[in-house]
C-alpha cells in the first residue's frame, strides 16, 4: 500500500466525537471541502476542512430588513453527550439518559421523549445506546434508528429527521452490541451471541444466526463494497435468446452469485464477513417460496434482476398462477408480443428474444392459452374427467378470465412499446367486456391500428369508439361522418353518448370543402351549440365548389340555412346580384310573419345594394316607401306612408332626414345579435336634406294632410301633431289660408302660439346678431385708431382731384 501524504492541522481541544454526514459518506467531496461535526464537552462545532486547514463554519443571517450578521456556528449541547450521528442537516445525539436532535440550520436542540433506559438501572457499557441513520426509501422519509432497553428486551424505534416518531418498531430479546444498516437489510448483533438480519421494507427477520461464544464477537462494521473477497459465479443467465428446448427449464443453483461484501463481523481474534447473494440469485434459490417476492423491490436496471423476474413470471404462468405471474412479467419487462402468441385471435403476436433464464420454461408451454389451461387442468385431476363435465367447464372459464386479465395488465403497462400492443389492448378489452368504458381505451387509440380497431368497434356496435379512433388517427372527415349518422339515428350506440363538443373539435381540423359540406348538414339539423362556433368559410372555396354548395343551400329551407346564406351574401367577397336577390326575396317572404326578417329587409332596402324587387313588395307599403324615398321619389313615398301604412312618424322622418329608416335607428336595430351581420351595410355617415329641401318636404306632407282633411276627420290628429311639433317649418299666413274653414281657432291655438313664439324668437335672434356684428365692427375700428395713435399718427397721401371736389361739395359744419 502506498503511504498517503500527511497534513498538519491546528489541534482542537476537548473533542468527544467527530461525526461525518452519512448522507454523502459514499460520494466525493464538493469543491474539495469536507464538513465535520465536532462534538465537544458542552458544544457542537460545524467545521469546514480542506487542504489548507480547518475553520468553524460561519452563518450569515438577516436580522432586520436586509441587514445581515455573521457568526461562527457553535451550538450548545448537553454536557454528557457521547454518541452522535449526522444525516444532512440533522444530528442525533445520545447522552447517558436520553436522545436529542440538533438542527444545524436553525441551531435548535430538540429532546426525544423515548428514554434510553426504561428502568432505573444506570447506563453502562452493556446497555450502550445505538443510533443508525436510514436513507429515504419508498414513501418513508430519512430517519434514525434509536434503541431503548428494559430489563427483558430492547426496542428499536424509527425517528424521522423532522422529529416526528414513526409507527415502525423492532424488538429484540437482548440488548444490541452493534447495529449496522446496509440497505435494504439491517444487521443487529445481540449480547446473547445471536445475529438478526431484518428486511427494512417489511421489518421481518430474514435470517437469525446463532454465533459460537468461543468466537467472542465484538461489533459489526459497515465498509465500502469489497467485490474480490468471494469466488466469482455467473449469476442467473441474462443473455437475450430465442426460446428453445436446448435451455433448461430452471437454471442450476450452481450459477448463483455473491453480492459484494459491505458488512464485516469483528471478533476478538478474527475478522469475518457477512456475505449475501445478489437479488437475482436469491430469487432463484427462493423459487416457489414466499421469499421470492423480495425481488420485486430490487432495481430493474440490473440485467440479472430482469432475467430472474422474467423467469419467475414464466414459472408462475406455467403453473397457471396468473395473478402472481402478472407482477413479475411487468417488472421484468417481458416482451408483450411473445405473450400475445398464446392468443392467436389477438393482433400483434410474434416471437421475440427473452432472457436465457426464461427461455427453457417458455419452450415447455403449450402453443396457445386454451391448450395450456387444458393441460394444467389435466395435470391436477386424476383420474381424468370428461371434457363435457360442467365443473371442468367452469374451471376453464375462470382460468381464461384470469389469463385475459393478466394479459391486459401486462399490455397496459407496456402500451408505449408499439402499435401492436395498443391494438391488442383494445381487442382484449372489447372481448372481455364489449361495454368497456371509452375513457379506459382512449390512451391506446392513437397508437393502435385504425382499420382493425375501427372494424372491431363497429362489430360491437361501439360507433362512438370508432369515431374517436378515426379522429385520433387524423381521419376527422370519417369521424364526423359517423357522428352525423349517429345523430340521424342511422346507428345506435347503447354504451357511449355522442358529444357535440367532440363534433366541434373534429370540425376544426376539416378541409375547407369538408367543412362546407358539414355546414350543409348542420343547416338541416337543429344543433344550436355547433351553430354558434362553426361558420361557413365561403371565400376559401374554389369557384366550382362554391357554386355547388350554394345550389345545395338553396334546396334547404331552415333558419340555419338562411343564416348561412346571410353570412355568404353579407360577409363574402365573391357575391353576385343573383345571390343577393335570392336572399332579399327570402326576406320578403319571411317578413309577412317574422318581425326580425322585416327589420333585416328594411335595413337592406335602405342601405344595401339596390335591386329591382318593387313588384314583390306589394303587401309591404313601408318597404315600398323606403325604396321610393331612396330613389328621391319623396311625394309618392309620403303618400304610401300616410295612406296605406298609416305610419305618420315615418313620414315625418322622411321630411327630416330624407330616409324612412334614418342611420341612428338602423344602428340601434343592428345591435341585436340576430342582425349583427347587417352592420356591414351601414355607411359611416349620410348627408341629411338641406334646409330648403326639408321645408319643401314638410310643405308637401302638410299639403297631403290638408287635402285629405277636406273629405273627413281621419287626418285631423296627424295634421295637428305635425303643425305643433314642426311649427318652425311653416309660414303662419300660408297655414291659415289653407286650413279648412270649419276648424276652430281653439284647435289651432297651440300652433299659433308656437308659430308666433318662433317668429318672435327669430326676430330677436336676428337683432341680437346684428348688434353683435356692429359691436365687433366698432371694436375693430377702435383698435385700429388706438394702434395708429400709438404709432404716431397716419400719413395720408394728397387727395386727388375727385376727393378735393367731393370735400368742396360737402356742406360746412358751421353752416
Decide if 793 is inside a domain.
Answer: no
**Percent of the chain predicted with pLDDT > 70:** 89
Q: Provide the CA 370 distance to its chain's centre, in angstroms.
A: 45
pLDDT for 70 beyond 80: no
Q: What is the mean pLDDT of residues 528-554?
A: 78
Decide if 501 is inside a domain.
Answer: no
Q: Which three cell numbers stand for residue 676?
A: 349583427
Q: Which three cell numbers stand for residue 489?
A: 339515428
Q: Please give the pLDDT value at position 40.
A: 86
DSSP string, 482-535: HHHHHHTTSS--SSS---HHHHHHHHTTS-HHHHHHHHHHHHTS--HHHHHH--
**628/803 Cα distance (integer angstroms):** 65
pLDDT-based confidence at 810, cuts 50/70/90?
low
DSSP β-bridge partners for residue 86:
21, 91
**516/546 Cα distance (integer angstroms):** 9
Q: What is the mean pLDDT of residues 302-326?
A: 90
pLDDT for 2 beyond 60: no
Maximum alpha-carbon separation in the chain: 169
Residues 6 or more apart whose CB falls under 8 angstroms from that of 666 comprise 603, 606, 607, 682
Ranking 117-121, 338-342, 807-811 by mean pLDDT, the lowest is 807-811
Pairing of strands 58-64, 154-160: unpaired
Q: Which three cell numbers stand for residue 9?
A: 492541522
Decide if 254 is inside a domain.
Answer: yes
Question: Are residue 326 and residue 255 in the same domain, yes or no?
Answer: yes
Sign of CA dihedral 768, 773, 778, 782: positive
3-state secondary structure 274-299: ECCECHHHHHHHCCCCHHHHHHHHCC
Question: Are residue 170 and residue 294 in the same domain, yes or no?
Answer: no
pLDDT-based confidence at 66, cuts 50/70/90?
very low
- In this predicted model, what pLDDT tens digit does every residue of 496-508 receive, in sequence order? 888 888 888 888 8
Domain boundary among 154, 171, 187: 187
Question: Are residue 299 and residue 390 in the same domain, yes or no?
Answer: yes
Q: Which three cell numbers stand for residue 378?
A: 389435466
CB 230 within 8 A of CB 195: no
Phi, psi of 566 (to 5 degrees): -60, -45
Pairing of strands 176-182, 165-172: unpaired
Question: Are residue 123 and residue 50 in the same domain, yes or no?
Answer: yes
Starting from the edge strand earliest in sequence, which strands make up the sheet with 131-134, in order? 131-134, 143-149, 154-160, 165-172
Decide if 153 is inside a domain.
Answer: yes
- In this predicted model, what pLDDT tens digit does every residue of 648-706 receive, in sequence order? 899 999 998 999 999 999 999 999 988 988 999 999 888 888 988 988 898 888 888 88
Domain count, the chain: 3
pLDDT for 223 beyond 60: yes
Kindly report whether the global pTM for this prediction surpasses the value 0.75: no
Decide if 496 is inside a domain.
Answer: no
pLDDT-based confidence at 170, cuts 50/70/90?
very high
Question: Are residue 248 and residue 375 in the same domain, yes or no?
Answer: yes
Q: Which three cell numbers stand for residue 341?
A: 402468441
Domain boundary among 359, 389, 406: 406
Q: Please give the pLDDT value at position 501.
A: 85
Average pLDDT score over the chain = 82
**759/714 Cα distance (integer angstroms):** 30
Question: Are residue 247 and residue 179 in the same domain, yes or no?
Answer: no
Please give the helix or strand (H or E) that residue 183 lies within, else none: none
- In this predicted model, what pLDDT tens digit does every residue of 415-433 receive, in sequence order? 665 788 888 888 888 888 8
Q: Please give the pLDDT value at position 53.
A: 60
**11/54 Cα distance (integer angstroms):** 10
Peptide bond into 383 cis (omega under 30): yes
**815/811 Cα distance (integer angstroms):** 7
Q: Please give the pLDDT value at position 610.
A: 83
pLDDT for 188 beyond 90: yes
Q: Please give the pLDDT value at position 786.
A: 86
Residue with cell 274653414: 741
pLDDT for 749 beyond 80: no
Best-predicted range by mean pLDDT (19-23, 369-373, 712-716): 369-373
- In this predicted model, what pLDDT tens digit does every residue of 331-362 receive, in sequence order? 888 988 889 888 888 887 778 888 988 888 99
CB 130 within 8 A of CB 176: yes
Residues 6 or more apart whose CB falls under 8 angstroms from that of 569 comprise 575, 579, 580, 583
Q: Please give the pLDDT value at position 179.
A: 93
pLDDT for 90 beyond 50: yes
Question: Are residue 140 and residue 282 in the same domain, yes or no?
Answer: no
CB 44 within 8 A of CB 37: yes
Q: Please give the pLDDT value at position 615.
A: 65
Decide if 397 is inside a domain.
Answer: yes
pLDDT for 123 beyond 70: no
In terms of residue numbers, what domain contains 129?
15-187
Q: What is the mean pLDDT of residues 160-169?
A: 85
Torsion of CA 135, 138, 140, 144, to 10 degrees: -20
Q: Which three cell numbers stand for residue 599?
A: 327589420
Phi, psi of 546 (to 5 degrees): -65, -40
Question: Are residue 277 and residue 180 in the same domain, yes or no?
Answer: no
Residues 6 or more apart whose CB falls under 8 angstroms from that of 14 comprise 40, 41
Cα–Cα nearest to 101, from 146, 58, 136: 146
- 333-370 burial, b for 16+ CB within 10 Å, e for fewer? ebbbbbbbbbbeebbbbeeeebbbbbbbbbbebeeebb
Question: Are residue 25 and residue 98 in the same domain, yes or no?
Answer: yes
Please give the helix or strand (H or E) that residue 248 lies within, else none: none
Question: Are residue 50 and residue 177 in the same domain, yes or no?
Answer: yes
Question: Are residue 316 and residue 380 in the same domain, yes or no?
Answer: yes
Q: Please give the pLDDT value at position 7.
A: 55
Question: Are residue 134 and residue 244 in the same domain, yes or no?
Answer: no
Cα–Cα nearest to 371, from 354, 396, 402, 345: 396
CB 236 within 8 A of CB 307: yes
**453/423 Cα distance (integer angstroms):** 7
Decide if 348 is inside a domain.
Answer: yes
Decide if 84 is inside a domain.
Answer: yes
Domain boundary among 371, 406, 441: 406
Amino acid at each position: 500500500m502506498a503511504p498517503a501524504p500527511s497534513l498538519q492541522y491546528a489541534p482542537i481541544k476537548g473533542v468527544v466525537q467527530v461525526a461525518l454526514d452519512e448522507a454523502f459518506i459514499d460520494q466525493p467531496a464538493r469543491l474539495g471541502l469536507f464538513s465535520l461535526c465536532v462534538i465537544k464537552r458542552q458544544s457542537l462545532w460545524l467545521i469546514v476542512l480542506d487542504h489548507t486547514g480547518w475553520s468553524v463554519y460561519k452563518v450569515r443571517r438577516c436580522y432586520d430588513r436586509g441587514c445581515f450578521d455573521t457568526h461562527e456556528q457553535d451550538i450548545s449541547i448537553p454536557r454528557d453527550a457521547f454518541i452522535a450521528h449526522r444525516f444532512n442537516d440533522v444530528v442525533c445525539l445520545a447522552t447517558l439518559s436520553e436522545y436529542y436532535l440538533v438542527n444545524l440550520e436553525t441551531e435548535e436542540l430538540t429532546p426525544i421523549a423515548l428514554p434510553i433506559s426504561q428502568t432505573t438501572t444506570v447506563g453502562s457499557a452493556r446497555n450502550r445506546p445505538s443510533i443508525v441513520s436510514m436513507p429515504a426509501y419508498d414513501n418513508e422519509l430519512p430517519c434514525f434508528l434509536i434503541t431503548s432497553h428494559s430489563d427483558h428486551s430492547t426496542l428499536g424505534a424509527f425517528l424521522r429527521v423532522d422529529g416526528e416518531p414513526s409507527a415502525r418498531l423492532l424488538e429484540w430479546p437482548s440488548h444490541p452490541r452493534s447495529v449496522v444498516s446496509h440497505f435494504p437489510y439491517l444487521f443487529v448483533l445481540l449480547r446473547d451471541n445471536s445475529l438478526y438480519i431484518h428486511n427494512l421494507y417489511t421489518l421481518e427477520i430474514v435470517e437469525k444466526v446463532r454465533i459460537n461464544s468461543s468466537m467472542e464477537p465484538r461489533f459489526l462494521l459497515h465498509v465500502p463494497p469489497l467485490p474480490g473477497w468471494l469466488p466469482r459465479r455467473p449469476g442467473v443467465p441474462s443473455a437475450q435468446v430465442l426460446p428453445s428446448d436446448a435451455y433448461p427449464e430452471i437454471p442450476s443453483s450452481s450459477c448463483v452469485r455473491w453480492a459484494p461484501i459491505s458488512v464485516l463481523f469483528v471478533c476478538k481474534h478474527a475478522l469475518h464477513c457477512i456475505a449475501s447473494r445478489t437479488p437475482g440469485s436469491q430469487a432463484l434459490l427462493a423459487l416457489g417460496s414466499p421469499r421470492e417476492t423480495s425481488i420485486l423491490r430490487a432495481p430493474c436496471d440490473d440485467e440479472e434482476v430482469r432475467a430472474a423476474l422474467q423467469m419467475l413470471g414464466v414459472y408462475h404462468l406455467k403453473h397457471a398462477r396468473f395473478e402472481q405471474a402478472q407482477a413479475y412479467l411487468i417488472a421484468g419487462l417481458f416482451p408483450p408480443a411473445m405473450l400475445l402468441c398464446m392468443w392467436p385471435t389477438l393482433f400483434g403476436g410474434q416471437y421475440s428474444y427473452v432472457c436465457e433464464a426464461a427461455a427453457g420454461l417458455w419452450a415447455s408451454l403449450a402453443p396457445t392459452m386454451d391448450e395450456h389451461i387444458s393441460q394444467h387442468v389435466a395435470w391436477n385431476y386424476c383420474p381424468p374427467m370428461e371434457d363435457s363435465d360442467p365443473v371442468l367447464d367452469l374451471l376453464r372459464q375462470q382460468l381464461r378470465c384470469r389469463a385475459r386479465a393478466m394479459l391486459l395488465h401486462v399490455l397496459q403497462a407496456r402500451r408505449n412499446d408499439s402499435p401492436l400492443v395498443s391494438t391488442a389492448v383494445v381487442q382484449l378489452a372489447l372481448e372481455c367486456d364489449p361495454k368497456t368504458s371509452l375513457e379506459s381505451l382512449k390512451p391506446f387509440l392513437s397508437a393502435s391500428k385504425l382499420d382493425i380497431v375501427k372494424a372491431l368497434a363497429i362489430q360491437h356496435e361501439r360507433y362512438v369508439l370508432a369515431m374517436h379512433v378515426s379522429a385520433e388517427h387524423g381521419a376527422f372527415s370519417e369521424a364526423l361522418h359517423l357522428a352525423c349518422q349517429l345523430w340521424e339515428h342511422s346507428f345506435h350506440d347503447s354504451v357511449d353518448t355522442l358529444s357535440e363538443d367532440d363534433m366541434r373539435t373534429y370540425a376544426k381540423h376539416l378541409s375547407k370543402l369538408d367543412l362546407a359540406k358539414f355546414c350543409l348538414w348542420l343547416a338541416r339539423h337543429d344543433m344550436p351549440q355547433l351553430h354558434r362556433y362553426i361558420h361557413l368559410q365561403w371565400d376559401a372555396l374554389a369557384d366550382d365548389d362554391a357554386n355547388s354548395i350554394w345550389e345545395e343551400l338553396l334546396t334547404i329551407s331552415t333558419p340555419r340555412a338562411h343564416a348561412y346564406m346571410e353570412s355568404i351574401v353579407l360577409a363574402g367577397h365573391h357575391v353576385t346580384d343573383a345571390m343577393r336577390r335570392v336572399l332579399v326575396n327570402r326576406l320578403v317572404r319571411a317578413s309577412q310573419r317574422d318581425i326580425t326578417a322585416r327589420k333585416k329587409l328594411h335595413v337592406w332596402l335602405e342601405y344595401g345594394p339596390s335591386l329591382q324587387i318593387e313588384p314583390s313588395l306589394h303587401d309591404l307599403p313601408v318597404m315600398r316607401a323606403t325604396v321610393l324615398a331612396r330613389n328621391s321619389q319623396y311625394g309618392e313615398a309620403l303618400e304610401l306612408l300616410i295612406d296605406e301604412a298609416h305610419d305618420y312618424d315615418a313620414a315625418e322622418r322622411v321630411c327630416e332626414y330624407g330616409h324612412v329608416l334614418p342611420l341612428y335607428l338602423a344602428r340601434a336595430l343592428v345591435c341585436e345579435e340576430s342582425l349583427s351581420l347587417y352592420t356591414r351595410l351601414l355607411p359611416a355617415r349620410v348627408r341629411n336634406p338641406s334646409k330648403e329641401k326639408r321645408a319643401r318636404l314638410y310643405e308637401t306632407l302638410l299639403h297631403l294632410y290638408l287635402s285629405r282633411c277636406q273629405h273627413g276627420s281621419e287626418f285631423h290628429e296627424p295634421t295637428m301633431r305635425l303643425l305643433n311639433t314642426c311649427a318652425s317649418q311653416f309660414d303662419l299666413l300660408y297655414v291659415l289660408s289653407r286650413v279648412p274653414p270649419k276648424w276652430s281657432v281653439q284647435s289651432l291655438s297651440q300652433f299659433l302660439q308656437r308659430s308666433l313664439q318662433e317668429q318672435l324668437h327669430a326676430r330677436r335672434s336676428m337683432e341680437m346678431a346684428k348688434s353683435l356684428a356692429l359691436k365687433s365692427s366698432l371694436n375693430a375700428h377702435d383698435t385700429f385708431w388706438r394702434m395708429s395713435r400709438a404709432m404716431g399718427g397716419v400719413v395720408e397721401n394728397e387727395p386727388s382731384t375727385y376727393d378735393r371736389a367731393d370735400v368742396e361739395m360737402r356742406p360746412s359744419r358751421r353752416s
